[in-house]
Amino acid sequence: MTDTSQLAADGRLRHLITLDGLPRARIESLLDDAARLRAHWHGQRALPPLLAGRSVVNLFFEASTRTRTSFDLAARRLGALVVNFDIASSSTSKGETLQDTLATLEAMDADAFVVRHKENGTPALLAGHCRQAAILNAGDGNHAHPTQGLLDLLTIRDRKGRIDGLQVVICGDIRHSRVARSDVHGLRALGAAAIRLCGPAELLPDADEFSGCSIDDDFDAALAGADVVIMLRIQHERLERATRLDSQSYHVRYGLTPQRLACARADALVMHPGPINRGVEIASSVADGVQSAILDQVANGVFVRMAALAQLLGR
C-alpha cells in the first residue's frame, strides 16, 4: 500500500503510518533530524523544548512497555505532555467507538496519537478521522512499524556510513513481521543493493509482496556476503503451530551463532528489534558481541521518535 496521505499539500509530514511510499528525502530528513537531536542531547543532556505546549496520547491496544517507554521519553524530553491512555479501563472497552474516543481526546487538544493495534490499518483509519491531530503508527498487525524501520536505518547508516549498495539479510518470521516490512521499505528507498528474506518456508511471505527481494529458506546461503543481518524475534506459539520446529531445532537451522555469523562479511552488523530470545533466534555471544548493534538500535529509537514527533508537531 503506497500511502501518500501521510504528507500535507505543502509536503510537510502530516501522519507517519508507513515508510512505504515515503520519499527518500523525507526519510533522510528524519534520520538527519534524529542524528542532530542525538548530538545535542549527548553534548548537553538537554534539548530545545520543540514540543512545549503539545500533548501526546499513547493509544496502545497491544501491550508494549519498551516501545511505549521509548515514545514516552522521546516526547517528554522535548517538552510534551504525555498521556498514557489506558485502553482496558476506557470507554472504548465499554462500547464507545474508537472514533469517538479519538474525537473526544482531540477535543481536549491532544496533538498526536501514538497508536499500536493488532489489526492492520487501524492507524490509517484513525488518521482519516483526525481533524488536526497527527497519527504516529507504533505498529499495526503485520503491516508497518515505521519508527522501527527508521531506527534500523539510522543504526546501519551510523555504523556503515551509508545504506546505498549494502547487502542485508532479514531472518525469521517474515510473513507476520511489520518490522521486516518497514525495514524493507526503508532499505529500498535508501538504495540497499540486495535484501534477502530468510526463514522456515511456512513463515516466508508471498513472493509478489516483496518484489526485488530474494526469498530463501537456507540461512547459511543467504548470509554469504551480507553487510547487515537483522534477526527477528520468534514467537514460540506461532513457531510450533506453523512449522514442525521447536525452539531448539529453530536455533539449529535459523539461530545466529558465531559459526554462522562467520559466513557473512567480517564486519557484518547484527541487529534485532528486541526483546531477544537468547539461544533461540540468536546466541547470547552474538547478541552481546562486538558486531551487535542491538543496544544502539534501542538508543536510536528514542531519537527517531523525537524527530518524527518534531516534524509532525513542531512549529
Least distance (Å) between residue 85 CB and a copy of itself: 6
- Using the rule CB under 8 A, give the single segment among 28-36, 173-181, 221-229, 276-284 that binds a copy of itself: 276-284
Least distance (Å) between residue 90 CB and a copy of itself: 4
What span, in angstroms and rounded, lies between the C-alpha atoms of 29 and 41? 18
Number of residues located near a copy of itself, criterion CB under 8 A: 48
What span, in angstroms and rounded, lies between the C-alpha atoms of 229 and 273? 12
Residue 238 interacting with a copy of itself (CB under 8 A): no
Buried b (16+ CB within 10 A) or exposed e, 135-161: bbbbbbebbbbbbbbbbbbbbbbeebe
Helix spans in 21-60 (H)? 24-44
Pairing mode, strands 55-60 and 112-117: parallel
Residue 295 interacting with a copy of itself (CB under 8 A): yes
Nearer to a copy of itself, 23 or 53 (CB): 53
- Cβ-Cβ contacts under 8 Å for 108 (sequence gap 6 or more): 55
Using alpha carbons, list the distances in angstroms from residue 294 to 7, 43, 85, 104, 151: 31, 23, 29, 38, 11
Least distance (Å) between residue 204 CB and a copy of itself: 25
Residue 55 interacting with a copy of itself (CB under 8 A): yes
Residue 138 interacting with a copy of itself (CB under 8 A): no
Q: Which residues lie near a copy of itself (CB under 8 A)?
A: 41, 44-46, 52-55, 63-66, 69-70, 72-73, 76-77, 81, 83, 85-86, 89-91, 94-97, 100-101, 103-105, 107-109, 274-278, 295-296, 298-299, 301-302
